């Protein structure tokens, strides 16, 4: 399963056995207890959650 690190510090230090994160993007981890525990702890998130991040808000213009 594809998982994204919570932040860049996690990207650098967290590994699943010998599987670390690439410089950018998600890592492919086994769908197992370790991975699910890291998801529950908030250390990583599954790809679907990454895509559901809040959309960027752009300032609106007021009609004068």
* pLDDT recorded at residue 52: 47
- pLDDT confidence tier of residue 58, bands split at 50, 70 and 90: low
Express each pLDDT in 2-53 by its tens digit. Answer: 999 999 999 999 999 999 999 999 999 999 999 999 999 999 999 765 544 4
Q: Output Rg (C-alpha) for the chain, integer angstroms.
A: 16
pTM, to two decimals: 0.70
Residue 13 contacts residue 52 (beta carbons within 8 Å): no
C-beta contacts of 47-51 below 8 A and 24+ residues apart: 47/1, 47/2, 47/3, 47/4, 49/4, 50/4, 50/26
pLDDT at 55 over 80: no
What are the structural domain ranges in the chain? 2-51
Angstrom distance (rounded) from CA 5 to CA 44: 5
Angstrom distance (rounded) from CA 45 to CA 50: 7
């Amino acid at each position: 399963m594809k998982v994204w690190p919570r932040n860049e510090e996690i990207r650098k230090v967290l590994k699943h056995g010998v599987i670390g994160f690439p410089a950018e993007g998600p890592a492919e981890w086994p769908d197992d207890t370790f991975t699910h525990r890291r998801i529950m702890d908030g250390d990583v998130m599954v790809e679907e959650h990454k895509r559901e991040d809040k959309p960027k808000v752009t300032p609106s213009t007021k009609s004068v």
